[in-house]
Amino acid sequence: MTKVGLIGLGLMGKPMAKNLLKAGFDLTVMSRSEGPVIELETLGAKRAESYSSLGAVSEFVVTMLPTPAVTKEVVLGPGGVLGGMKPNSILIDMGTEDPALAREIYERAKEIGVSALDAPVSGGDVGAIAGTLSIMVGGDRDVFERSASVLGAMGTNISYVGGAGSGQAVKAVNQVMVAGILATIAEGLTLLERSSVDTEAALEALMAGRAGSNLLKAKARQILDQSYAPGFKVDLHLKDLGIVEAYARENSVVMPFTQLAKSYLEAVSYSGGGELDHCALVEVVRGLGDLSLG
């Protein structure tokens, strides 16, 4: 049985871990909070006492942590997981990070005979639970191929997109579009809810035509019902747009739309909604028509 270690049992990592167990992997986990670790133990996973010991017992290590800073610390920091990993093992970082960090991890891993993939995902908590994530993978192609069964336990659309950092580059593009589509959905649905039309029929028509998008399908109900349990948190999306910004600067791409969408997300975050689902940015559009003017 292939030994897999997974670090970070959050909204995404926990269901991914469960899918690894279901697929028959011999799973060792670590996370900051106790709760999810215990939950996974109940389901048959082992618990590691340190990042480096988790590294030492794993053929594959998957990381799914909140920010590049945390990932860097946990992977490359003193006592980090990479330090414990054995030659020929594979490190798969599935969090969203900047392409530069992905390349740094790749290089540092190579020095000690470990192979690294950057394999960020799209599809939300729903996709993580269902095991239908879209996974964009950067790194060496043969390593990608050797990782097929592990990745296949978590996602259904798994694409090799190029050398180290390429997965993160595509994920940056993904986050650009997700932010922009959400912003335009927010404006469109606000207009729709002010119109006296059959909303369900309208949504179906919109989905079928040029305006149709995976996000409209996934989020329209939530937006119209104003129910913002995450899902993908506003503050994580803001973190990703920070990554996008740096990457766009490196590549000399100007992004006023993405910046405007970022401002909308900031408005939600500054108003106390950083932990809400990112589709809460519709509240900006609603709020703009309902200012309190003393």
Ligand X SMILES: NC(=O)C1=CN([C@@H]2O[C@H](COP(=O)(O)OP(=O)(O)OC[C@H]3O[C@@H](n4cnc5c(N)ncnc54)[C@H](OP(=O)(O)O)[C@@H]3O)[C@@H](O)[C@H]2O)C=CC1
Catalytic residues: 171
Cβ–Cβ under 8 Å, residues 264 and 238: no
Per partner kind, with CB cut-offs from 5 to 8 A, the member of a copy of itself, ligand X, none near residue 222 is none
Alpha-carbon distance of 178 to 122, in angstroms, equals: 10
Of 61-69, 149-157, 190-198, 200-208, the window that binds ligand X (rule: CB under 6 A) is 61-69
Residue 9 or residue 280: which is nearer to a copy of itself going by CB?
A: 280
Q: How far is CA 180 from CA 55, 149, 153, 236, in A?
A: 38, 33, 30, 15
Per partner kind, with CB cut-offs from 5 to 8 A, the member of ligand X, a copy of itself, none near residue 13 is ligand X
Say how many residues make up the chain.
294
- Return the sign of the alpha-carbon dihedral for residues 203, 204, 206, 207: positive
Q: What is the nearest approach in angstroms of a copy of itself to the Cβ of residue 147?
A: 16
Per partner kind, with CB cut-offs from 5 to 8 A, the member of ligand X, a copy of itself, none near residue 177 is a copy of itself
Residue 45 or residue 179: which is nearer to a copy of itself going by CB?
A: 179
Q: What is the nearest approach in angstroms of ligand X to the Cβ of residue 32?
A: 3
Integer distance in angstroms from the first to the last C-alpha of the chain? 66
Per partner kind, with CB cut-offs from 5 to 8 A, the member of ligand X, a copy of itself, none near residue 12 is ligand X
Helix axes 234-250, 256-268, angle to 10 degrees: 150
- Indicate which single residue of 4, 12, 75, 136 sits in contact with ligand X (rule: CB under 6 A): 12
Quick one: tokens of 41?
């133990």
Residue 89 or residue 122: which is nearer to ligand X going by CB?
A: 122
The SS3 of residue 4 is strand
Residues 175-234 that bind ligand X (CB under 6 A): 231-232
Residues 204-263 that bind a copy of itself (CB under 8 A): 204-206, 208-216, 218, 226, 228, 244, 247-249, 251-263
Q: Residue 108 interacts with ligand X (CB under 6 A)?
A: no
- Indicate which single residue of 64, 92, 206, 279 sits in contact with ligand X (rule: CB under 6 A): 64
> CA nearest 241: which of 220, 258, 264?
258
Alpha-carbon distance of 144 to 152, in angstroms, equals: 11
Alpha-carbon distance of 278 to 181, in angstroms, equals: 11
- Applying CB under 6 A, which residues contact ligand X? 7-13, 30-33, 64-66, 70, 74, 95-96, 121-122, 124-125, 231-232, 236, 240
